[in-house]
């Protein structure tokens, strides 16, 4: 983006009250006509700037901008560099493409829209411009491939800790969801490229529902989704959320590389929605019912069932109100 237009946007982002054309012209050493032309170019690019007669300009878009993000981030690794795209197939796919041609650890890809956004098990992830945050981070951890599930769990802890000040009742749901009062507010998708014994690249994708669209969430997720704006009771800035998450994630990632998985596991378990509660998990073949009693060192969920402790590596988890029943076999997949 043109540096003058970035400077105009920065003034508007940092000031909620109207900013006059005269004030912008003086600050940027421009004529009022030049300011108007830059404003008009920003408007044509889809950035909602409203002009109030006799008062000035107000930014009404929730803008994501690479320059602003890097300026506001207090990180050494994550978000350097930031890449903000208006539209992409998937931020995870874009980050992995860049990893394959040598992008360094810390690259962060954000997008206003995804045409093929996905969650776990290739489920669709809705990305709605200005209402959701789609963000992927490239890591190159010195880990064996079998340790990578731990990265998803530390990301869940980082999200929980970053978002809890806005929505104190946020909980983690195994393996990769962030919930508020039982409704999904964020999800995590971790993908890797590896060779035997060595990880080449890990991409951690995060999708966060920031503010509800005026018409509500799409019909297929309306009953299970919520957002930070609803949870906090006020409109939330996507840029602020991106900064919070990247700073939290960097801290947890560096601590994990230094201290190992045990501190992450303890924090994760304390924030888990099903800690010590009856659950039902579909592992791809059957339903398993039991009490969620622990997370093992590899990130698997340990369930206390009538037939003993069962280790569940992957699956879909449901919280249950009733007491756990015997393990059952069923032929349909739980969606």
Per-residue confidence band for 212, with pLDDT thresholds at 50, 70 and 90: confident
Q: Which domains, and CATH codes, for the chain?
A: 3-59 (1.10.10.10), 66-271 (3.30.930.10), 274-335 (2.30.30.100)
- Whether 77 has a pLDDT exceeding 90, the answer reads yes
Cβ density class 112-146: b for 16+ within 10 Å, e for less: bebeebbbbeeeebbbbbbbbbbbbbbbebebebe
Range list of β-strands (E), 30-106:
49-52, 56-59, 82-88
Please tell me which residue, 92 or 300, carries the higher pLDDT value: 92
- Whether 253 has a pLDDT exceeding 60, the answer reads yes
- Whether 332 has a pLDDT exceeding 50, the answer reads no
Residue 122: predicted pLDDT = 56
Q: How many CB atoms neighbour CB 225 within 10 A?
A: 19
In tens, the pLDDT along 270-309 reads 998 888 889 888 877 888 898 998 888 888 889 999 888 9
What's the CA gap between 292 and 274, in Å, rounded? 6
In tens, the pLDDT along 175-187 reads 889 999 989 999 9
DSSP conformation letters of 254-306: HHHHHH-SHHHHHHHHHHBTTTTSEEEEE-SS-EEEEEEEEE-TTSPEEEEET
Residue 165: predicted pLDDT = 94
Nearest CA to 284 among 244, 254, 317, 237?
317
Contacts of 157 (CB under 8 A, 6+ apart): 172, 252, 264, 267, 268, 271
- Residue % of the chain over a pLDDT of 90: 47
Residue 119: predicted pLDDT = 56
- Whether 327 has a pLDDT exceeding 70, the answer reads no
- Whether 131 has a pLDDT exceeding 90, the answer reads no
- Please answer whether residues 137 and 204 qualify as being in contact, where contact means their C-beta atoms are separated by less than 8 angstroms: yes
In tens, the pLDDT along 229-252 reads 999 999 888 989 999 999 999 999
Please tell me which residue, 35 or 68, carries the higher pLDDT value: 35
In tens, the pLDDT along 36-75 reads 999 998 888 767 888 888 899 988 777 888 877 888 899 9
What's the CA gap between 317 and 314, in Å, rounded? 9
Residue 328: predicted pLDDT = 38
In tens, the pLDDT along 102-124 reads 999 999 999 988 888 665 545 55
Please tell me which residue, 152 or 124, carries the higher pLDDT value: 152
**Residue 61 phi/psi, 5° resolution?**
-95, 150
Task: State mean pLDDT over 158-170.
Answer: 94
- Please answer whether residues 291 and 276 qualify as being in contact, where contact means their C-beta atoms are separated by less than 8 angstroms: yes
Which residues on adjacent β-strands are paired with residue 204?
A: 137, 190
What's the CA gap between 36 and 21, in Å, rounded? 7
Positive or negative torsion for Cα 47, 52, 58, 60? negative
Residue 321: predicted pLDDT = 65
- Whether 324 has a pLDDT exceeding 60, the answer reads no
Tell me the average pLDDT of the chain.
86
Residue 117: predicted pLDDT = 67
Per-residue confidence band for 172, with pLDDT thresholds at 50, 70 and 90: very high
């Amino acid at each position: 983006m043109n540096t003058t237009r970035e400077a105009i946007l920065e003034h508007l982002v940092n000031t909620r009250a109207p900013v006059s054309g005269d004030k912008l012209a003086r600050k940027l050493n421009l004529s009022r006509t030049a300011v108007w032309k830059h404003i008009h170019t920003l408007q044509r690019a889809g950035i909602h700037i409203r002009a109030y007669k006799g008062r000035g300009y107000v930014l009404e878009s929730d803008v994501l901008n690479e320059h602003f993000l890097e300026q506001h981030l207090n990180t050494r690794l994550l978000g350097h560099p930031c890449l903000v795209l208006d539209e992409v197939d998937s931020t995870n796919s874009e980050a992995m493409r860049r990893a394959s041609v040598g992008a360094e650890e810390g690259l962060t890809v954000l997008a206003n829209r995804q045409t093929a956004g996905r969650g776990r098990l290739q489920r669709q992830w809705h990305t709605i411009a200005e209402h959701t945050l789609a963000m992927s981070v490239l890591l190159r951890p010195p880990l064996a491939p079998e340790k990578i599930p731990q990265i998803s769990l530390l990301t869940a802890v980082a999200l929980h800790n970053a978002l809890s000040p806005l929505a104190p009742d946020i909980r983690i749901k195994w393996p990769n969801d962030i919930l508020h009062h039982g409704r999904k507010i964020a999800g995590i998708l971790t993908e890797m490229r590896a060779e035997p014994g060595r990880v080449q690249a890990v991409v951690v994708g995060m999708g966060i529902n920031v503010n509800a669209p005026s018409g509500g969430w799409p019909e297929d997720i309306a009953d299970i989704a919520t957002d930070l704006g609803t949870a906090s009771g006020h409109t939330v800035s996507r840029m602020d959320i991106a900064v919070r998450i990247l700073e939290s994630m960097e801290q947890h990632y560096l601590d994990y590389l230094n201290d190992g998985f045990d501190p992450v596991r303890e924090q994760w378990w304390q924030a888990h929605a099903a800690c010590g509660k009856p659950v039902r998990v579909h592992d791809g073949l059957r339903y398993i019912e039991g009490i969620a009693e622990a997370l093992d060192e590899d990130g698997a969920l340990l369930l206390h069932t009538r037939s003993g402790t069962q280790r569940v590596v992957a699956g879909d988890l449901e919280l249950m109100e009733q007491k756990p029943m015997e393990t059952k076999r069923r032929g349909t997949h739980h969606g």
